[in-house]
Chains A and B, each alone.
Chain A
Amino acid sequence: DAGVIQSPRHEVTEMGQEVTLRCKPISGHNSLFWYRQTMMRGLELLIYFNNNVPIDDSGMPEDRFSAKMPNASFSTLKIQPSEPRDSAVYFCASSEPGQGDYGYTFGSGTRLTVV
């Protein structure tokens, strides 16, 4: 199993530009989570999907952030326009059905730097 695959691994962009982060969950996992990690705030849940449907997006910081999951094998997190305070590591994670009891598997993350 290839695990959770995220791309790109690193992204450097200028303030005001659109950024799109991509995630492919583990096959058979029906829940997908987007987290952001910073030194100041630690790991924060942004949004999660069950069966491609957004369940809780209360962690999305503002309207500049949007996430989609058009099918079971792909999700995107978009920031438009990006700002320097969005600089962080963004992790995608997935879990099996009913697997809140069994933990997530994280992808390698995307390190975003907005200058």
Chain B
Amino acid sequence: QKEVEQNSGPLSVPEGAIASLNCTYSDRGSQSFFWYRQYSGKSPELIMSIYSNGDKEDGRFTAQLNKASQYVSLLIRDSQPSDSATYLCAVAYGQNFVFGPGTRLSVLP
């Protein structure tokens, strides 16, 4: 059984702080990892992908991957109230994505 785990939250951070979201996965064969953002009542939106160990930065977002520890994280710098959403970690097994349950982030003004 391929599993993806996340803390459900809610994770509350003050505006301007760094939000750290974590994800672990069960299958070492995974090669591709994604973070999706989902606003309430909306569909998931791809915000980051990462394939190699290390960090990948895109604007205020940094994805981190450690395949040995089977761990993926997403850092959001200078958090804004508009970042308040549920963040879904997804692990690709071929074309099939397994999604984690999501972490609800609340950025407080």
Contacts and interface: CB of A to CB of B under 8 A. Distances in A.
Interface string B68-109: 000000000000000000001010101111111110000000
B46 A103 contact: yes
Contacts of B100: 42
Contacts of B94: 100
A100 B99 contact: no
Those 10 A-B pairs whose CB atoms lie nearest each other, nearest first: A106-B43, A43-B99, A103-B46, A100-B95, A42-B101, A100-B92, A101-B32, A103-B34, A106-B44, A109-B43
A95 B51 CA distance: 17
B57 interface: no
B99 A106 contact: no
Report, as a range, how many residues of chain B touch the other chain: 20 to 34
A45 B59 CA distance: 30
26 contacts: A31-B95, A33-B97, A42-B99, A42-B100, A42-B102, A43-B88, A45-B96, A45-B98, A48-B95, A55-B95, A56-B96, A95-B95, A100-B32, A100-B96, A101-B49, A101-B51, A101-B92, A102-B49, A103-B46, A103-B49, A103-B90, A104-B97, A105-B46, A106-B44, A106-B45, A107-B43
Q: Is the interface of B mostly helix, strand, loop or mixed?
A: strand
Best-buried of B31, B34, B44 by chain A (most CB within 10 Å): B44
